[in-house]
């Protein structure tokens, strides 16, 4: 297939498999630009990334003498050298594309061959359509995060993360002010758009992605400001509800904004909010010990208490002075002090009510949750996320190892506390949110046949300030995130890790994270760690990391051949542009609406 390319700007001069040198006409380049190298007698088209360039003159090796002549006699000399001005460009060979006749598209490959001598060179910034075709398989297809970055400019080529990459985990790293929040809100918006598209097209549940988003600064709901505009998830929710409650329910849980206290949030947001509450009995000892620093003796004490009473936290709280469970004097008091943030928290209660089954049931239907942690202590936040992740992981483990409902029930009761297990299985009077209909495929004889895990949506769990619970100091037995990092892909559970310090993260987590978005980083140590940890080879990108601006990043992915420079969307403008889609996806997608329901008033 012939590419529509502009006038050539240069000729390939020399190079090896990693570094090329191109001689170009007198053009001002930017570090990070992409050049297209197209041999005249080859079906391969090469891409080249500018890493450095210098001014040269044809046939003159040293410019200092020329500069001296210019200084003394500029007018007489300038006409002689104007046509000799050139630029020598050095950079990395990214790879090459070949046109596949059967698939009718260009297939990009890693740089195993060199372009021929004196191949013609074109500027990628001047041929966006050709560049988009050459990079079609590299720029992703599902969750949009921004545009292709070339130098300091972004091209109209969307950069997306494929759904298949999500359960392989995503790491977002950057210093304060790098643009991590803009990325997160863009990711939320794009994930919601993808889910609503699937719903409108009657697509399978397996192609949806649930997101449990941690909102540390309580900013995703109200939105982030840019150019006197501010849009957030609340605007998306209102736009979706204009299309009908069924449309809203396809992407949001009924009460999807989770907070500690309902009275602490604006009145207009209370309609979609709920104060989150869990039974103390829903917690395992490991939910506490994996996110708090405790001694082995204290762990033993808590496990002994749980062996006696499933409401082990209340038992420890109400122990009298003489009750030591056979441990050394002072252990009980030390454990009580360590559990104090959980004991005094309104989130973990002694009553029979728990939101855990509702959360699991909605996440298994491709829904979004916004978990506001602005009023929570770090202990409360991390224990909630750990308990949720562990419960979801346990039920999907049980599904993976079961073929019938009876087998599944036995597995769930063995993996979870009794009350939450019975609610999820529909065995409790409180089973308002049973997963039976979601997990069962049909009936065979006297039993039900289970679905495959691949029939369920991908679930992404956000871990903000990731080193706090995923740092090397917390890599102890029982940390559910270690298990998810190793096996999450198998169970379609992905971690969305947000950090300022890659170097503080647990190496096992880093080794199993296969998509990285690295933004402005704080120092040389973080830059080196980002390069070492990257899923693509980004050796040589040290200088580029140093000049990244707010919202600019390098995206690496183990399922792709090359790192991709990204300009993250200006999210208020992005949301504003997409609001008509959330109101009427059928019109935007140009498909017939098959569902009708009374239109609701905005939230």
CATH of the domain at 163: 3.40.50.300
Given 3-state DSSP classes, what are the helix, strand and coil percentages for the chain, each rounded to the nearest 5? Answer: 40, 25, 35
For residues 324-352, b (16+ Cβ closer than 10 Å) or e, as one string?
bbeeeeebbebbeebbebbeebebbeeee
- 3-state DSSP assignment of residue 275: strand
What is the model's pLDDT at position 600? 44
Tell me, yes or no, whether 102 and 168 share the same domain: no
Tell me, yes or no, whether 241 and 362 share the same domain: yes
Tell me, yes or no, whether 432 and 368 share the same domain: yes
Q: Dump pLDDT digits (tens) for 120-160.
A: 999 988 888 999 999 999 999 999 999 999 888 899 999 99
The band of 599, judged by pLDDT with boundaries at 50, 70 and 90, is very low
Say if 468 falls within a structural domain: yes
Per cent of the chain over pLDDT 90 is 64
Tell me, yes or no, whether 198 and 94 share the same domain: no
> Phi and psi of 142, rounded to 5°?
-125, -70
Tell me, yes or no, whether 263 and 336 share the same domain: no
Residue 95, beta-bridge partner list: 47
Q: Dump pLDDT digits (tens) for 424-473.
A: 999 998 889 999 999 999 988 889 999 999 999 999 999 988 777 776 65
Listed in sequence order, the DSSP H helices in 273-377 are 285-289, 296-308, 312-317, 331-338, 340-343, 356-363
For residues 515 and 536, what is the distance between their CA atoms, to the nearest angstrom? 9
Say if 393 falls within a structural domain: yes
Strands 368-372 and 209-215: parallel
Tell me, yes or no, whether 24 and 86 share the same domain: yes
Tell me, yes or no, whether 264 and 193 share the same domain: yes
Is pLDDT at 422 greater than 90 in this prediction?
A: yes
Tell me, yes or no, whether 190 and 75 share the same domain: no
Give the global pTM: 0.90
Tell me, yes or no, whether 226 and 299 share the same domain: no
Tell me, yes or no, whether 229 and 332 share the same domain: no
What is the model's pLDDT at position 185? 96
Q: Say which DSSP state 433 is in.
A: S
Residue located via tokens 């104007």:
82
Pick left, alpha or beta for residue 140 (phi over 0 → left; psi -120 to 50 → alpha; otherwise beta).
left
Say if 52 falls within a structural domain: yes
> Phi and psi of 580, rounded to 5°?
-60, -35
Say if 145 falls within a structural domain: no
Say if 402 falls within a structural domain: no
Say if 221 falls within a structural domain: yes
Q: How many domains does the chain have?
A: 3
Say if 601 falls within a structural domain: no
**Residue 41: domain span:** 10-137
Q: Dump pLDDT digits (tens) for 361-401.
A: 999 999 999 999 988 988 899 999 999 999 999 999 999 99
Number of helices (H), then strands (E), in the chain: 22, 25
Strands 252-259 and 273-275: parallel
**10 Å Cβ neighbour count for 28?**
6
- 3-state DSSP assignment of residue 526: helix
Q: Dump pLDDT digits (tens) for 480-533.
A: 999 999 999 999 999 999 999 999 888 888 999 999 999 999 899 999 999 999
Q: Dump pLDDT digits (tens) for 178-189.
A: 999 999 999 999
- Considering only CA atoms, which of 421, 439, 431 is closest in space to residue 365? 439
Residue 87, beta-bridge partner list: 24, 55
Tell me, yes or no, whether 237 and 293 share the same domain: no
Tell me, yes or no, whether 231 and 321 share the same domain: no
Say if 187 falls within a structural domain: yes
Which of 106-110, 211-215, 293-297, 471-475 is predicted with the least confidence, judged by mean pLDDT?
471-475
């Amino acid at each position: 297939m012939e590419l529509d390319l502009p006038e050539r700007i240069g000729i390939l001069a020399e190079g090896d498999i990693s570094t090329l040198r191109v001689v170009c006409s007198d053009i001002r380049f930017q570090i990070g630009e992409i050049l297209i190298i197209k041999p005249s007698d080859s079906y391969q088209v090469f891409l080249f990334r500018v890493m450095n360039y210098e001014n040269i003159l044809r046939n003159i090796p040293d410019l200092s003498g020329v500069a001296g002549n210019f200084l003394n006699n500029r007018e007489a000399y300038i006409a002689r050298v104007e046509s000799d001005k050139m630029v020598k460009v050095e950079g990395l060979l990214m790879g090459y594309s070949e046109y596949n006749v059967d698939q009718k598209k260009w297939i990009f490959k890693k740089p195993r061959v060199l372009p021929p001598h004196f191949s013609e060179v074109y500027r990628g910034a001047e041929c966006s359509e050709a560049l988009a075709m050459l990079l079609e398989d590299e720029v992703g297809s599902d969750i949009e995060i921004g545009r292709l970055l070339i130098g300091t400019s972004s091209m109209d080529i969307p950069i997306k993360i494929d759904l298949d990459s999500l359960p392989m985990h995503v790491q977002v790293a950057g210093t304060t002010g790098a643009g991590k929040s803009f990325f997160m809100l863009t990711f939320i918006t794009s994930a919601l758009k993808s889910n609503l598209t699937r719903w409108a097209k009657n697509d399978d549940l397996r192609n949806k992605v649930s997101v449990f988003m941690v909102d540390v600064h309580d900013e995703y709901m109200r939105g982030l400001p840019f150019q006197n505009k501010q849009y957030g998830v609340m605007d998306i929710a209102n736009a979706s509800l204009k299309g009908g409650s069924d449309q809203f329910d396809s992407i949001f849980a009924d009460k999807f904004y989770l907070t500690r206290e309902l009275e602490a949030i604006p009145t207009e947001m209370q309609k979609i909010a709920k104060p989150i509450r869990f039974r103390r009995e829903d917690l395992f000892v490991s939910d506490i010990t994996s996110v708090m620093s405790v001694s082995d003796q204290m762990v033993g004490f808590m496990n002994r208490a749980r062996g006696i009473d499933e409401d082990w936290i209340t038992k420890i709280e109400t122990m009298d002075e003489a009750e030591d469970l056979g441990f050394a004097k002072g252990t009980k008091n030390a454990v009580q002090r360590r559990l104090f943030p959980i004991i005094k928290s309104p989130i973990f209660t002694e009553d029979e009510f728990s939101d855990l089954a509702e959360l699991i049931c909605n996440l298994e239907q491709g829904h979004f949750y916004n978990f506001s942690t602005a009023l929570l202590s770090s202990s409360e936040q991390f224990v909630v996320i750990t308990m949720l992740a562990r419960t979801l992981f346990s039920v999907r483990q049980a599904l993976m190892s079961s073929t019938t409902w009876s087998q599944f029930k036995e597995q769930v009761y063995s993996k979870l506390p009794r009350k939450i297990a019975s609610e999820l299985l529909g065995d409790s009077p409180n089973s308002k949110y049973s997963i039976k209909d979601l997990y069962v495929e049909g009936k065979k004889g006297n039993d039900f046949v289970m679905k495959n895990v691949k029939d369920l949506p991908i679930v992404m769990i956000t871990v903000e300030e990731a080193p706090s619970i995923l740092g090397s100091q917390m890599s102890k037995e029982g940390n559910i995130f270690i298990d998810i990092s190793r096996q999450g892909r198998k169970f379609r559970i992905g971690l969305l890790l947000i950090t300022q310090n890659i170097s503080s993260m647990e190496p096992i987590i880093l080794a199993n994270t296969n998509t990285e978005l690295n933004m402005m980083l704080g120092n040389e140590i973080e830059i080196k760690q980002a390069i070492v940890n990257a899923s693509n080879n980004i050796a040589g990108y040290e200088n580029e990391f140093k000049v990244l601006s707010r919202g600019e990043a390098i995206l690496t992915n183990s399922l792709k051949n090359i790192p991709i420079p990204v300009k993250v969307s200006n999210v208020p403008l992005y949301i504003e542009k997409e609001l008509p889609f959330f109101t009427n996806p059928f019109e935007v997608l140009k498909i017939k609406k098959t569902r009708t329901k009374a239109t609701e008033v905005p939230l």
